[in-house]
Each structure stands twice: as structure tokens, then as C-alpha cells.
Structure 1
Amino acid sequence: MGTYKRIKGTKDIFGDEIDYWNYVEDTAKDLFHRYGFMEIRTPIMEEEELFSRGIGQDTDIVQKEMYTFEDKKGRLITLRPEGTAPVARAYIENSLINLGSPQKFFYIGPMFRYEKPQSGRYREFYQIGAEIFGTDHPLADAELIVLVFDYLTTLKLNNFKIKINSIGTPKSRENYKKALKVYYEPLIPNLCEDCKRRFNTNILRLLDCKIDIETAKKAPSILDYLDEESRNDFESLKKYLEIFEIPYEIDSRIVRGLDYYSKTAFEVIHKDLGEQTVIVGGGRYDNLVEQLGGPKTPAVGFALGIERIIEALKKEEVKIKKRALIDVYIAFQGERGQIEGIKLSKELRKKGIKTFLNISQRNLSGQFRHADRLNARFTLVLGEDEISNDIVTIRDMESGEQTQVERSWVTEIILEKLNE
């Protein structure tokens, strides 16, 4: 029988790579809390209808990309392909509206889509997202874009570009869709297969096709079809971004791929990953909560792809501080050494020192080799001589220098050395 391999489109994350993930996630948690967002965690499985109803029956995600299966009771269950619909479901089901409005939530976790794996894109991929429920004020849209800018610059990224658009209300969008149909109809024979299909099912998606880019550039602009309310909100959004001193570009081809968006739509692209590579996407979705059976609740949010953010960090050669896995390795000989090692490990860990206690049958030289492979900063030795004289040998694993200290002083001396 052969060895097992990970499923295509998934990855194992370990070693130096974990430092990037911790950096991206810890920075997000710290900053989002500073902006008044509360963390929310939703299940990775939901009823299939939550997504077909919320995202839209004719979207690529629902048509081609969802992992859906029947459970033992014949119910259709879907691994979540995105985070907004589950958070909206949780908001309704748990009556979070009773906590007052507006409310701010953020989430971090895996999503699942059956897509062709490529650079920075996986079938199991991780997103960080933020949602604001209960306000239709354009200042909420602006604050989310400010948060995105603040987050990316805090990560020390520079080569990104924020693009904004308004896709209007559903009513004003109908007139625009008619204009798009008129523009695209004579061009159908020359379009890619996806665009030919989308012409009848989801014509807005033709604007963000990655193949027929030049055709999309010449299409009518949605900004010419906005109703007065959408136009005013878009003007306010631009004004607020200027007050916040956030650089942005207007791109009338941003429509986002999900049916629930209305008015504000925005994306962030990273220049080193290519103009087509979106690292953050978001916008307003004022009808989603009501569509899912809740009270009328305006809302706005965004999601960013962790894998793509990490790719951008590597492209820009941002130096990530490595976390020392182990401060101290405790090596011992004999039963008395083992007992003293156990006591010492408890003492060190209580003081917050990352401690690896030898838990194998190796001799002392084998333990030193193990400590070296684990990249331990110091090795504490409890051999026969040390136990008899109530001392501990401290070996600096970088310099190889050894010092002997009284057992009662070990913890204090290690703390001092680690803080040097």
C-alpha cells in the first residue's frame, strides 16, 4: 500500500511558513480589535441553500465551485466557500441585532472552492474578513477601506493599489444590464466560453473576465447609470477617503462575483502579483440579511486571502521575525537527573520560558544533537556531577560556551540571558 498524499489544492503549513501565518493573523487580530471589531467563528459546514440563496444561483461559486454533499439524513450540506453569508446567518439566528447597531465582526478561517489550483489559490484557502451590520452610512464603507489600508501598511506592504466603484442599487443596475446586453450581443462569437455562458446568466461578470479584458475596457461604465442615492453615497465615500488620506483609483469594471453586493464595491490588487490578482475584495450588501430571512439590515464587509497576502510579503521581501521555538532544552542522565529535570521544566515554563524536556532514551550526546536540531537557544545539563553538587551546566548553543551555576539561580540567569 502506498503512502497517503494530501488532496490536490490543499497544503501542509509548518516550519518557517508558520511564522508568516502567525504574523498575518496576529497583526489582523490586534488591528481589528483596535477598530472595535469582535471576533466571530462560524461552522465550516452550512446548509447548501444559504449559499445558493445568498451568493446567487447563477454565480460561478454556486454553479461550479462548491463542495456540496448529502449527509446521512439526505440534507444538502456545503463546505463554506466564503465567509459573509455564514456570518449573516449567525447574526440572524442568534438575534445579534438586539445588541444594538451598528455591530462589527471579524473572522479568520478556511474556505473551500473547487477551483483550478494555481499560484496563491487553493481549494482549501484561508480568509480574514470583516463585516459591519446595521448602518448604511458611507462612512462605514470608508472606515473598512481605511482598515484595509492600515492593515496592509502595518504588514509593511507597499506595492498595492486600492480600487473603488459603485454598482448602484439593484433597481439602477437593471438599466445598466440592458446597456451591457446591447454592447456585448454583437461580440458574443468572439467571447470566451465562460463569457458566452454568463451573457445570459450573470452579465456583470463579463466586466471582470480575465481573458476578454480589452472588450470589457470598452464597455459602458456603470457610473453613468447610477441612481441619485448611489451617486451621492459614492461622492461621500470619495470625500471620506480623501479626509482619511487614503490613495485610491476609480475602476468602473469592479463588480465582484457575488450577487449580494450593492453600491460600494472595492478591491486591492498587488502589483508584484499582477493587475489581475486581487488580494482583498469587498463592498456593501444591504439586502443580504433580509434575503436570508432576517430584518432589513444594511451591511458592508471585505475578505482578504491569507495565501495571497503571504505571497505578496515574500515578493516584497518583508522580513518576518522568527519565533524562537525553544528557549531551553533540558538534558539529563539517570533517574535523579530525570526527577530534577521534570521539576526544573515546571519552574521554567511557569516563567514563560519555552522549554523542551528530554522525553526519550538518548544519551547526553544524542540529547545535545537533538537540542541543536530543534534550534534551542540554551541546553541545561543535569548529569551525575551536577546532581551531586546541586548545580546546573548551561550551554549556549550558538557559541558552545558552558557555565555552571547554582541550581537555585538557574531560572533567573536564563531569564537574564534571554532578555540580553
Structure 2
Amino acid sequence: MAKAKIQAPKGVSEYVPPRSAAFEFVREALITPARKAGYQMIELPIFEDTELFTRGVGESTDVVSKEMYTFEDRGGRSITLRPEGTAGVMRAVIEHGLDRGQLPSKLWYSGAFFRAERPQAGRYRQFYQVGIEAIGLDDPAIDAEVIAIADAGFKAIGLRKYRLDITSLGDAQSRAAHRVDLVKYIASLNLDEATQLRAALNPLRLFDDKRPEVQKAMQDAPLLLDYLSENSKKHFDQVKTYLDVLGISYTLNPRMVRGLDYYTGTTFEFVHELLGAQSGIGGGGRYDGLMSELGGQELSGIGFGLGVDRALLAAEAEEVIDSQSFVSDLFIIPLGEAAKQKALTIAATIRTAGKTVEIAFGDRALKGAMKGADKSGARYVVVLGDSEIASATVELKEMKSGATSSVKIDSLISAL
């Protein structure tokens, strides 16, 4: 009796060929602008002490209160699969003393993150992000650069149908003044007990509530953007000026608070118009108190997390990824043992030049091997037999057009 097949857990995002090549392209496109801006890679553990997220992300957030994968390890410690990247980066910066060196400390990361959410298109329980953090300086020009790096990544993919929403969540003085009036306003609303408790922890969270009845109730709530202190307003005005200089268009969204409690000052989100309810493809902001909250210095920082899964969905929706970008440059069909040995050496040489080369293994007949070459999507194919080896010349066939040309084996790299 055949054994039952085991399937992947519900709600995870998996990528297999040929779509995995598109996933890799999107991820690299999002990472490359950070590398070019001098950001260095940091590799972090997938699980951390739960306290890192309860203190760093905020107990009032849905992420901490509803969505974390938390378990007790064999030593009785509470461990959580990372739901986001910034808290882990800050923990590592403090632990390894990166905040004691050259500032700002500029880091990038990528990998899988986990949230116990209800799976739907674009919302997964395991998802992938690319993120950066610039830690140590409170300079509006850095805010603009961080936003520009994200924008460059999306443009490198070829995305066009997205917008940038920005706001400022102000400094402590701004938020304190706003909180007084916001709490008074919320007290006048008829809210259920759970929502009241959430608002007591952080009243800004109600702006992020997706329920239509709460959104309607908050329609006339006082907006933090109207309470910015002189310093916060000046900082935010400078950020906007820098974005204007960079030619990056944006929309002011005073109701945006993002889903994490550590954000202060400049806050932003990229929204794609073709993704429906799960339209956010990335976002971030400044976090002035996070490092001290986690036991480090009083240093400011700013960063973002970009969704690789959603950026791929956006690219597919816009039809901007050319599948021909992910095929082999050359497919070699060897006929016989001597040809197979020669094919291995030819492939190794051409690969050192940065080309992608495949070989037809398994001693298939020529007709079957040609079918394999066609299915691989290779740009060119050569058949290698005794006569080709003796003459050191092959017939290079372009698969798309069917055109052939005689090429010396030693000249294959330039011919490709």
C-alpha cells in the first residue's frame, strides 16, 4: 500500500523552478541597492528569546498579541520564531558592540519570517523579507536615502504601479501632546472591551485597526501630524525636501501608524495598486527609543522591511519579469563517452566566464536530448560528437530562431 504524501504546512510560501528563478531575481534586485549604498550583510538567528519581541515590537501590536509562533524549548526558555527583522538586528548590534564603532552602522539582511496569520493571497505564515537598518544618527538625509534604496529596489524589478505613503509619528513631545486629545476622543467612542484594552496600551493602534466600524469611529480622530513639535516638523520637512530633490514622489498619509510600536518620526509604506487587500509591498521608519528599550545606548535608527513574496506578486501582476532572463545560455548534447568528457570541460570553462551551461546527461538519443534542450529554454544548443571534437568546431543553434553558425569550440564564450 502506497504511503500518504506529506505536504508543506498550510500558509507557507514555497518557490520551485521555474518560479524560484523569478523569486531569486526579485530578492537580489531588492538587496543590490543596499549593497551599492555601503550597507553590509548581517545574518541573524531565525528564533530569539520571546522577550526581545514583547519589549521591542510592543505588546499592544497584533504581531505580539496574536501572531507570534512561541514555544518553550527543552531548557524551559520561551522562544519565538522571528516575526520581523529590526528587533533582532538591534539585539545583535548591542550584543556585538557595533554601536561603539563607526556610525551610522549600516546593515542589510534577508530571510524567512513567521507570523501565525490567516493564510490568503500575499499573506503567509512563512514569508520572506529584505531589510536594512541605519543606526546611530538622527539625520533626515538618512531617512531619505533609506526610502530611496527601497524605491530603487522596486524600480530595478521593473515595478511602476505603486505609490509611497509617508508621515511622521513625531518625537516624545509630539506624541504626548497628541495622546491627551486622542485618549479623550477614544473615551467618547463605544468600543468593545478588547479594543479598549488595546487602546489603553497604545491609542495609535486604533488607526491601524482594519475593522470597518473602528475605521468609521476613528474618522474624526485628532491626527498626530497636526501635533508635531518644532523639531519634528523641521525634520519631516527636510525629509520631504530630500525626496523632492531625489525625484521620488510621495503621498502624505497622516493616518498611517504601521503595525509595530517602535516607530517614531519618519514612517513610510510602499503600496501596490494591483494586489488588492494585501497591497503593502514594504515599509519602515525611524525608531528613536528601540535601542535603549533593548538595553543599549540612546541611539536613533531607521530601516525598512520589503516583502519579497509580495514584490514578486506585484511583478507578476505587472508582467514585468521576462522569463527568458532565467534560462541557460547553452545546452550541450554529447554523443558518446569521449564527447561527454569533452562536454564537461567545455561547460566548466564557459561557466567561469559567468555563463549558464547545461549538459544532456543520461545517454539519451539525439531526438530526446533535443526535446530536453527545448524544454530547458536554453538560448543556444550544440551537439558534440567525434567529428566535432576532431575539428574543434560545433554548430551553434539559436533555439528561438533556429539559425545555426559554425563556431570554434575555443570561441564559444564570445559567440554566446
TM-score for the superposition, normalised by structure 2: 0.89
- What's the offset of the Cα at 1:401? 5.7
- What's the offset of the Cα at 1:220? 1.0
Query: SS where residue 144 of structure 1 aligns?
Result: helix
- What's the offset of the Cα at 1:3? 0.9
Alignment of 1:79-98 (within 5 A): 79-98=81-100
Contact 2:31 2:153 in 1 (8 A): no
Cα deviation per residue 1:267-289 (whole Å; 9 max; x = unaligned)? 22223335873222211111111
Cα deviation per residue 1:292-330 (whole Å; 9 max; x = unaligned)? 111211111111212222222233332436335322333
Which shows bigger deviation, 282-291 or 255-264? Answer: 255-264
Q: Flag the 1:241–1:341 CA change in 2: closer, same or farther, 3 A.
A: closer
Query: SS where residue 295 of structure 2 aligns?
Result: coil
Q: 1:333 aligns with which of 332, 335, 357?
A: 335
Give the equivalent residue in structure 1 for 2:285: 283
Which shows bigger deviation, 281-290 or 172-181? Answer: 172-181
Q: Flag the 1:365–1:238 CA change in 2: closer, same or farther, 3 A.
A: closer
Cα deviation per residue 1:187-246 (whole Å; 9 max; x = unaligned)? 324x6x864552333321111222233332311111233333323322333333334343
In structure 1, distance between residues paired with 2:353 and 2:21? 23
Alignment of 1:104-143 (within 5 A): 104-143=106-145
- What's the offset of the Cα at 1:23? 3.2
Amino acid at match of 1:53: R
Give the equivalent residue in structure 2 for 1:417: 415
Contact 1:188 1:196 in 2 (8 A): no
Alignment of 1:57-76 (within 5 A): 57-76=59-78
Q: 1:10 aligns with which of 6, 9, 12?
A: 12
Give the equivalent residue in structure 1 for 2:301: 299
- What's the offset of the Cα at 1:98? 3.1
- Percent of pairs identical after alignment? 38
- What's the offset of the Cα at 1:400? 4.8
Alignment of 1:204-215 (within 5 A): 204-211=204-211, 212-215=214-217
Cα deviation per residue 1:71-94 (whole Å; 9 max; x = unaligned)? 222222211110101111111111
Q: Which structure 1 segments of 5+ residues have no match?
A: none
Contact 1:260 1:288 in 2 (8 A): yes
Give the equivalent residue in structure 1 for 2:253: 251
In structure 1, distance between residues paired with 2:397 and 2:163? 50
Give the equivalent residue in structure 1 for 2:243: 241
Query: SS where residue 190 of structure 2 aligns?
Result: helix
Amino acid at match of 2:207: L
Which shows bigger deviation, 49-58 or 16-25? Answer: 16-25
Amino acid at match of 1:112: F
Contact 2:32 2:153 in 1 (8 A): no
In structure 1, distance between residues paired with 2:353 and 2:283? 43
Contact 1:216 1:253 in 2 (8 A): no
In structure 2, distance between residues paired with 1:384 and 1:403? 18
Cα deviation per residue 1:377-415 (whole Å; 9 max; x = unaligned)? 33333345555666545444445566666xxx2130x33
In structure 1, distance between residues paired with 2:391 and 2:144? 67
Give the equivalent residue in structure 2 for 1:198: 198
Query: SS where residue 323 of structure 1 aligns?
Result: helix
In structure 2, distance between residues paired with 1:355 and 1:243? 44
Q: Flag the 1:312–1:156 CA change in 2: closer, same or farther, 3 A.
A: same
- What's the offset of the Cα at 1:134? 0.7
Q: Which structure 2 segments of 5+ residues have no match?
A: none
Query: SS where residue 46 of structure 1 aligns?
Result: strand
Q: Flag the 1:351–1:311 CA change in 2: closer, same or farther, 3 A.
A: closer
Alignment of 1:15-414 (within 5 A): 15-189=17-191, 195-211=195-211, 212-274=214-276, 277-320=279-322, 322-383=324-385, 385-386=387-388, 392-400=394-402, 409-412=408-411, 414=412
Query: SS where residue 329 of structure 1 aligns?
Result: strand
Amino acid at match of 2:110: I
Amino acid at match of 1:417: A
TM-score for the superposition, normalised by structure 1: 0.88
Q: Flag the 1:354–1:185 CA change in 2: closer, same or farther, 3 A.
A: same
In structure 2, distance between residues paired with 1:98 and 1:344? 51
Aligned residue pairs: how many?
412
Contact 1:269 1:275 in 2 (8 A): no
In structure 1, distance between residues paired with 2:237 and 2:341? 71
Aligned CA-pair RMSD: 2.7
Which shows bigger deviation, 252-261 or 29-38? Answer: 29-38
In structure 2, distance between residues paired with 1:198 and 1:344? 65
Contact 1:195 1:209 in 2 (8 A): no
Contact 1:162 1:267 in 2 (8 A): yes
Query: SS where residue 188 of structure 1 aligns?
Result: coil
In structure 1, distance between residues paired with 2:273 and 2:406? 55
